[in-house]
Amino acid sequence: MAGSLRENLLYAAPSATPEELAEALAVTRLDALVARLPQGLDTPVGPRGVTLSGGERQRLAIARALLRRPQVLLLDEATAQLDARNEQALSELVARAAGRCTVLLIAHRLSTVTDADQIVVLEHGGVRAVGTHHSLVDDDDLYRELAATQLLAAEPPA
């Protein structure tokens, strides 16, 4: 990541129209960032995107991927470096992207996948269980244990 926001987006799709750029920015909620930057899309992001937050860099990478109009969008540990607020924003982005293509989201944090249409639980290199968050909590001991450990620990005390 270097150059301007526009150059970063066009790197993935050199022939993208202004409308397609605007759509990718809206889906990833980068349009608000662009609106407040002094040079808009032509604002430099610095080497490796140093002027952007971790969440903004993540969303820019996803915007680039969406501009290519993939049939499948693979996100591997997309929330690993994000705080809770940016993780929520990314979850909303994934939900919007799922309307355009199939999204495969690899995650260790269950909070990342609880709203997924289908969750595949892997153990020892194989598929252990498949289902929604609720069905897996009901039917799979390992998933239930992970949910209790990860999700209940994250809840604020009553």
Catalytically active residues are 77
**Terminal alpha carbon distance of the chain:** 43
Spell out the residues 6+ positions from residue 68 whose beta carbon is closer than 8 angstroms to its own: 12, 13
Q: How far is CA 107 from the centre of its chain?
A: 11
Run of H or E including 128: strand 126-131
128 touches 121 (CB < 8 A): yes
